[in-house]
Structure 1
């Protein structure tokens, strides 16, 4: 099977190949307490189980530890799981066994910001948006509107997760955009003083490096219409006023950033 896959798969983090190894996904629900991951690892090490990938997520007072492991031939996965369930602060353990090959580097289903998510190649998204632009009138307006709706939804989720002043919620874009793989961005927000009783004058620039919409694209005009719509929706919701984002520079037309 390795020969069928080809050498290009070796060393890539999207695929894990281990000849003659039994792989298992472990999803371990815990209390969010100091030392629980260490105690879980101690059990795995005591059985010569090799962890290939793992992460811990905390929510409320509980946590979740997800790990992809290699099981030695002499280890019974059911017995291992039962022992893990006895670890202090472990609530439950779910598992799934794979034989020799695994594409995933995350659990299924995938959740981002608390909602179900799927993964697409950046080139495919660019091609899809290009086909929409070439096939439908007012396509840019449609893609911009889709981005706006997404931006508003993300802003609502963030608002429910953390209570901070609007300027800091805008800065959170610097964490959100790379988190979902859209690029790296810098938010430059400057207040220009009072504009009226309830409104404030400000200037805002969002500098985006390596936008996923410019992947393998060359153009004479900016192409990040969806991302501009996302910024429009997010910023408008956070500030409570209608704001429009306009892309003045774009990597697709040779600029250093968008």
Structure 2
């Protein structure tokens, strides 16, 4: 299991770490044929991942291998590049023996992304809270827009509907490292409870007398409102930073006629 976004290969300190970025024609046997090729050449695959999200007819296979010193990697790469299913090939040596599970530039939900520590994110929130007037409303509005934007992106890939939008949200929050979501919500009366265990914001905050995950509340409100095409309010009532075991956000319907763009402009309270 990969513990971090990158790790150092320690299995064979005498071997060389060689990476391959393979664009291939997506057929039933493509991945198996490529993997078999590496096995035949004696290249030990230490880490690999597949990506076919952009174009179903094409795939990307990124792998980090260990090769005994002295192996003619260029000849192996030339032979790999001539396989019928291989469309494009990049490869190279990792001089510091680093194996990465991301590549540059990093993309998340269709946009350029960067990785920062949760502590850094919380430091930014703290600076806003200390120096920006009405920072709570600002953070909520930033979250609202972010949550709505995510739904618009997801709709290009899957059918976001009343029955699956919260399950999609649960998978998204866990994959992004935000926390583990549990929920009870009625899409009829637009009321419910969203509980987040191990919130990345609350975990990094020092003790607080008030809830600290207002950005997440805004994100949840934007996500739910856009998913259901009906505006909701979300507010955090229980927070781990206050000494509780989890964070809890209450969902309630917005005033009649309110739209998410009204919330973004701060017109509805």
- TM-score of the superposed pair, with normalisation by structure 1: 0.85
**Aligned match for 2:193, one of 205, 213, 226:** 205
Aligned residue in 1 for 2:39: 45
Answering whether residue 157 of structure 2 is matched by residue 156 of structure 1, we say: no
Q: Distance in 2 between matches of 1:132 and 1:96?
A: 43
TM superposition shift of 1:97: 2.0
Bigger shift: 128-137 or 226-235?
128-137
**Aligned match for 1:247, one of 227, 236, 255:** 236
Aligned CA-pair RMSD: 1.9
Q: Distance in 2 between matches of 1:175 and 1:40?
A: 30
**Is the contact made by 2:38 and 2:44 (CA closer than 8 Å) also made in structure 1?**
yes
Answering whether residue 217 of structure 2 is matched by residue 221 of structure 1, we say: no
3-state SS of paired residue (1:87): coil
- TM-score of the superposed pair, with normalisation by structure 2: 0.82
TM superposition shift of 1:17: 4.1
Aligned residue in 2 for 1:72: 68
- Give unmatched runs, 5+ long, in structure 2: 248-269
Q: Distance in 1 between matches of 2:175 and 2:3?
A: 20
- Give unmatched runs, 5+ long, in structure 1: 1-10, 193-200
Shift in alpha-carbon separation, 1:164–1:134, aligned structure 2, 3 A: closer
* Counterparts of residues 18-97 of structure 1 (less than 5 Å): 18=10, 19-59=13-53, 60-97=56-93
3-state SS of paired residue (2:164): helix
**Is the contact made by 2:162 and 2:187 (CA closer than 8 Å) also made in structure 1?**
no
Q: Distance in 1 between matches of 2:99 and 2:29?
A: 30
**Is the contact made by 1:21 and 1:100 (CA closer than 8 Å) also made in structure 2?**
no
The number of equivalent residue pairs is: 240
Aligned residue in 2 for 1:195: none
3-state SS of paired residue (1:244): strand
Aligned residue in 2 for 1:100: 96
3-state SS of paired residue (2:234): coil
TM superposition shift of 1:103: 6.1
* Counterparts of residues 119-138 of structure 1 (less than 5 Å): 119-138=115-134
TM superposition shift of 1:25: 2.2
Shift in alpha-carbon separation, 1:142–1:202, aligned structure 2, 3 A: closer
TM superposition shift of 1:214: 1.2
Moved over 6 A (4+): none
3-state SS of paired residue (2:79): helix
Bigger shift: 76-85 or 142-151?
76-85
